[in-house]
């Protein structure tokens, strides 16, 4: 079956020579009735029905169980325990740190071509024989629909692995100038210590990238997956191991969040944090790092993405249908549980009656339910009932002659700065909006929804309290996980310490 799928997509990459590859974005499959990808996915979903997978901690290449047993429940069927797992204790987390450090030097010295090949092979496995499995586990465990799982756990994760490999190989080729008497080179070393990767529930791809990108660049990693994404995260982890990732490079460490944070930030070998999650958690970790600065051998690299209160602003010249449909997708796909989801809509009074009518009309057609049984489902149950991270859209209706004031309001309403979109047809309005909203969004969309960033097309991230804006999915992201060393080799002996002017 998977060979048929590969024939449909074509190869996502081709080798040019050992140090360069040409990569294209993974095509998104449609899962139409009768298609081979739909049949493969339905079989994978049937195989998971009613089953509970045992997911251990993996420390030093060994599966470890502790008495602190937990269960991951399917969000739309709480009777289904999709995974049984355990929390790593403080002692086990420290054991994972030691196991990672023991592997660090050998892994860092491995040629980047060899490291890249592992991630390219993992991408091929996700693209082919393991695609249906990872999609099914994302749907059952995180409540994603077919297309949302496909965009995330297949296309985006494959793109992360392939493009990061491409960027790493190109980075090594980027070398400084040399002159006749000396050769200059740049060595892109991994960081000295270990990186902690803390991943969220809402994107399988983010987990794979938070752990995978630092590992690709020669780092060793402790991966703490989200409790509500363990099934898919473990599947990705196993694929990386099967693709050739040495067991000690990434330790798989489900843990209590505060205990994990306390333990890793108190280690003298802590050298980096790759994080996606809430603002309070990221601030807490940042403060802990600050308090422990004196014990570290290096200043740790802190990379974090914390979400946003993202906006759609509609100008009176906008195409109303496009604005309405884009807003419905942005606000309600995956139950609004995307860090880029639209939660603020600004509409001009002159268009509001039409916009409201269309919003309510189309909103009434949305089907909510079990995405594994009915492929017509648009979104399913939200993960956490305690958080306002769901399908909620607020609307601000403004007098259209106060458009500029509204742009200033958008810029100052929240402390976030992740994504935003403007819907307008007038070029002058678009340019003015871009200027006044320059700092309001790290990813800015014109006549498109605020969600759906694609690796290598729209590298993702925001600043302000939305995060450190390191742009995963772009060529500069991997630089965060390197410690470059400049090397000068001189070929002509120095015969005199004195300079010519001193003669």
Rounded CA gap, 9 and 312, in Å? 34
What is the residue whose two structure tokens read 């082919």? 128
Q: What are the φ and ψ backbone dihedral angles of 451, each rounded to 5 degrees? A: -110, 170
User: What are the helix (H) ranges across 110-229?
Assistant: 112-127, 131-142, 146-149, 157-173, 204-216
Is 432 known to be catalytic?
A: no
Rounded CA gap, 387 and 391, in Å? 11
Rounded CA gap, 260 and 170, in Å? 35
Q: Which of 172, 195, 339 shows the shortest CA–CA distance to 270?
A: 195
123-149 b/e with 16+ CB inside 10 Å = b?
bbbbbbbbbbbbbbbbbbbbbbbbbbb
Strand partners of residue 487? 185
User: What are the helix (H) ranges across 10-156?
Assistant: 36-48, 90-109, 112-127, 131-142, 146-149
Structure tokens at 484: 């470059």
Rounded CA gap, 466 and 303, in Å? 11
Rounded CA gap, 188 and 334, in Å? 38
Distances from the Cα of 342 to the Cα of 72, 87, 88, 257, 322, angstroms? 28, 34, 36, 28, 14
Q: What are the φ and ψ backbone dihedral angles of 283, each rounded to 5 degrees? A: -65, -40
Rounded CA gap, 460 and 333, in Å? 18
The single residue of 57, 86, 271, 339 carrying the catalytic annotation is 339
- Where on the phi/psi map is residue 460: left (φ > 0), alpha (ψ -120 to 50), or beta? beta
Q: Which of 383, 388, 304, 397 shows the shortest CA–CA distance to 343?
A: 388
Is 339 known to be catalytic?
A: yes
Rounded CA gap, 139 and 470, in Å? 28
Rounded CA gap, 55 and 253, in Å? 10
Residue 396 host element (H or E)? strand 394-398
Q: How far is CA 339 from the centre of its chain?
A: 11
Q: Check the CA dihedral 25-30-31-32 and report its sign.
A: negative
The single residue of 305, 306, 333, 342 carrying the catalytic annotation is 305
* Residue 140 CB partners (closer than 8 Å, separation 6+): 45, 48, 74, 80, 82, 231, 372
- CA torsion, points 347, 353, 358, 360, in degrees to nearest 10? 90
Q: Which residues are catalytic, by number?
A: 305, 339
């Amino acid at each position: 079956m998977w060979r048929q799928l590969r024939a449909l997509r074509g190869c996502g990459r081709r080798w040019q020579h050992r140090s360069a590859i040409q990569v294209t974005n993974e095509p998104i499959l449609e899962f139409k009735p009768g298609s081979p990808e739909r049949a493969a996915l339905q079989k994978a979903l049937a195989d998971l029905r009613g089953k509970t997978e045992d997911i251990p901690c993996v420390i030093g290449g060994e599966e470890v169980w502790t008495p602190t047993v937990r269960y991951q429940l399917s969000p739309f069927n709480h009777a289904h325990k999709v995974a049984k797992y355990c929390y790593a204790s403080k002692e086990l987390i420290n054991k994972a740190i030691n196991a990672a450090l023991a592997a660090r030097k050998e892994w860092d010295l491995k040629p980047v071509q060899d490291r890249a090949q592992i991630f390219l092979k993992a991408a091929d496995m996700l693209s082919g024989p393991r695609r249906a499995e990872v999609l099914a586990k994302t749907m059952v465990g995180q409540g994603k629909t077919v297309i949302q799982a496909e965009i995330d756990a297949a296309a985006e994760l494959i793109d992360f692995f392939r493009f990061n490999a491409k960027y790493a190989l190109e980075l090594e080729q980027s070398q400084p100038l040399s002159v006749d008497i000396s050769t200059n080179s740049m060595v892109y070393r991994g960081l000295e210590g270990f990186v902690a990767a803390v991943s969220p529930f809402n994107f399988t791809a983010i987990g794979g990238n938070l752990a995978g990108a630092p590992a690709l660049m020669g780092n060793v990693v402790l991966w703490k997956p989200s409790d509500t994404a363990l099934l898919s995260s473990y599947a990705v982890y196993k694929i990386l191991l099967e693709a050739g990732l040495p067991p000690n490079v990434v330790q798989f460490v489900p843990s209590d969040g505060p205990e994990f944070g306390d333990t890793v930030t108190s280690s003298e070998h802590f050298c980096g944090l790759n994080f996606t999650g809430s603002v309070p958690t990221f601030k807490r970790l940042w403060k802990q790092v600050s308090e422990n600065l004196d014990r570290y051998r290096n200043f740790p690299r802190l990379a974090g993405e914390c979400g946003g209160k993202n906006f759609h602003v509609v100008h009176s010249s906008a195409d109303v249908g496009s604005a309405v449909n884009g807003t419905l997708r942005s606000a309600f796909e995956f139950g609004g549980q995307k860090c880029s989801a639209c939660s603020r809509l600004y509409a001009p009074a002159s268009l509001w009656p039409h916009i409201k009518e269309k919003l309510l009309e189309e909103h009434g057609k949305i089907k909510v339910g079990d995405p594994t049984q009915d492929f017509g489902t648009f979104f399913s149950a939200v993960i956490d009932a305690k958080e306002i991270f769901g399908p909620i859209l607020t609307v601000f209706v403004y007098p259209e002659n106060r458009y500029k004031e509204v742009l200033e309001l958008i810029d100052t309403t929240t402390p976030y700065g992740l994504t935003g979109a403007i819907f307008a047809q007038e070029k002058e309005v678009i340019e003015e909006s871009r200027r006044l909203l320059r700092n309001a969004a790290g990813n800015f969309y014109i006549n498109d929804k605020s969600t759906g960033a694609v690796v290598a097309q729209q590298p993702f991230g925001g600043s302000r309290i939305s995060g450190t804006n390191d742009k995963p999915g772009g060529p500069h992201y991997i630089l965060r996980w390197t410690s470059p060393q400049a090397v000068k080799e001189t070929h002509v002996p120095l015969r005199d310490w004195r300079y010519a002017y001193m003669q």
